[in-house]
Chain A
Amino acid sequence: MRRVMMALAFASLAFSASAETIEQRAVTCFACHGEHGQSETENTPSLGAQQAPYALIQLFMFREKLRTFEPMNEMAKSFTDDDLQKFSDFLAKLPKPAPPADAGEPARMQRGLALAQQNRCNSCHNADFSGKENVPRIANQREDYLAKTLSEYKDNSRHGYDGTMADVMGSVSKEQIAELAYYIARVR
């Protein structure tokens, strides 16, 4: 089923002319990022209720190849500025990802919470990790994607729009990344 959807999605790219509505065009996004904003694909982020200014920045960076991930660079290649705006506004209106059924081991959750507090993640991402403006919602993001992203910020293989996350992650260890991702993915 997924394969069919993917094929459909890519086929639709070929004629993604302006006549389509944003909802129709977003079918392509859903193929990997999940319907209703919740991703079920490995290492692929949930996009529901993402902060529109953050989403716009990321789509822009994909288009300009300031952030490299080939499928997304390809996808965003022909986006106009208006497309970037429309897609990011659309994503912001999708429902936010739900916390996983697994509430997490209390001890690990505790460690994650302590690390999130130590590193003042709430300073930019808000106390409930919903994000604000150019700072993304991270609450209940996929654990694998969180861990991957934090690692990429740490070794600067993913260039942030500005250097804030590289700066913050400089002093966070690999083990701590795993704990943070575990906690933020499950936070309620």
Chain B
Amino acid sequence: MKATGTGRFLPMQRFKGFHKGENTMRICSSAPRSLLLAGAFLGILTYGAAAQQPASPPAAAPAAAPALPPGSPLLGRPDNAAAAKLAPVAAPPLAAAPDKLPLAKLKVPAGFNIEVYAAGMANARSLALGDKGTVFVGSRLLDKVYAIVNKDGKRSVKIVASGLYRPNGVAFKDGTLYIAELSKISKIEKVEDNLDNPPKPTVVYDNLPKDEAHGWKFIAIGPDNKLYIPVGQPGNNVLHDADHGQIRRINLDGTGAEVVVLGVRNSVGFDWNPENKQLYFTDNGRDWLSEDVPNDELNRVTKVGEDFGAPYCYQGNIPDPEFGWGHSCSEFTPPVGLMGPHAAALGMRFYTGNMFPKSYKNAIIVARHGSWNRTNKFGGDVVVVHLNKDGTVKNIEPLITGFLEDNKYVGRPVDVMQMKDGSLLVSDDWNGAVYRISYGKQKVATQ
């Protein structure tokens, strides 16, 4: 029973295929098993519904409850009432009616305006802008990609693709819409010329894992004209194979796949610094480590193959209690910015427009979807990350707040995207809406 400190970190099967040292693992695993056995009985005692205390001693108990299975999303979750209250929050499947949107609750700094750009797009997620001004919107819990069409001064929402599987990611280049489903990338060419009757997407690339956990994807096309595809860890905190925990890039025809970033837990947003073309990405920290750490990361990639630490090291200075052994955080590139505990920093883009005040120029605007793995929810806002000349983070300021009210979400921002006039669109998957942020005397977007 003395192995208390290591008991919860020893799901031995986890190491199959990765470690040869299974003997050691086996030896270690015996102590925690009996420990957990005792734990299971303790659980029974406190379990109201099954108040009958078994008379037999622990050794006679059937099927001891071992540690959580490897890869379980609940690894690390302590068995207490406060933790048991926390579970992922899923957005409703129906978009909020326009008059039910929380617009009046959303706060922006003085001089900024916020309005509804379009509504009625259930689970609106990632955003992409077409050459002709069409805004494409992916979804994660539905099967649809929407298009917000701006025609003759009127905006309307169309469905450009349906029957897709978790089509979270969208990107646009030279007339073609690229869509990222859970495990494939497809495209619709000349999409803006066929919005009323778009052809079915054709697959470009599908050499991707099919895991549900962190399987949905943000995508974007870089200044190198390649499509960047994140592949997250297949679980909360997993020692994974070489196909996970990374960002890859492919040529737009699906060829030339290459891993460019390693040590990524789950990135759902990235963009390139307009000044030096460096890739910046947000990465979500692991669950169940504690209420206050790790922070989500804002990372900067300076060379191909750079490793950002997950699952060995989080937020640049916390060795993972399970996988950090034998590693040092100094082996990995630390983040340039910490985005808050469990904040779910998702979509991010550099602001290059001229509409917002000068201090926003080339700053990063980040949507923080908001936490679930925290008693007091954190995030649920859009922030602006001002950078120093050397590309490091100077400070982080709020841009839109109010999505979080009395520890409940009234909306959840997912992605941000700059329009040609310098205004900013923000998607909200909770309400199925897209908002527009402008600065100065309010000029309502062309209706």
Contacts and interface: CB of A to CB of B under 8 A. Distances in A.
A115 B67 CA distance: 10
A81 B120 CA distance: 12
Contact of B68 (A66, A107, A119): A119
Contact of B73 (A57, A156, A168, A187): A168
B50 interface: yes
B321 interface: no
A166 interface: yes
B177 to A, nearest CB: 21
A41 interface: no
A170 B71 CA distance: 8
Interface string A147-177: 0000000001001111110111011100000
A117 B72 contact: no
A172 B87 contact: no
B63 A171 contact: no
Contact of B143 (A66, A109, A119, A135): A66
A168 B49 contact: no
Interface residues of B, number: 46
A109 B235 CA distance: 29
* Interface residues on chain A, size class: 35 or more
A118 B69 CA distance: 8
B101 interface: no
B87 A167 contact: no
Contacts of A166: 212-213
Interface string A43-83: 00000000001001100110010100000000000000100
Nearest to B93: A60
Nearest to A121: B74
Contacts of A8: none
Interface string B104-148: 000000000000000000000000000000000000111100000
Nearest to B81: A127
A159 B71 CA distance: 19
Interface stretch (B40-48, B324-332, B360-368): B40-48
B172 to A, nearest CB: 25
7 contacts: A56-B93, A64-B143, A85-B94, A110-B61, A118-B67, A119-B69, A168-B73
Query: Which 10 pairs show the lowest CB-CB distances between chains A and B?
Result: A163-B212, A171-B69, A124-B87, A166-B212, A114-B65, A60-B93, A118-B65, A120-B74, A167-B213, A134-B90
Interface of B: 40, 43-44, 47-50, 54, 61-74, 77, 79, 83-84, 86-90, 92-94, 140-143, 165-166, 210-213, 215, 235
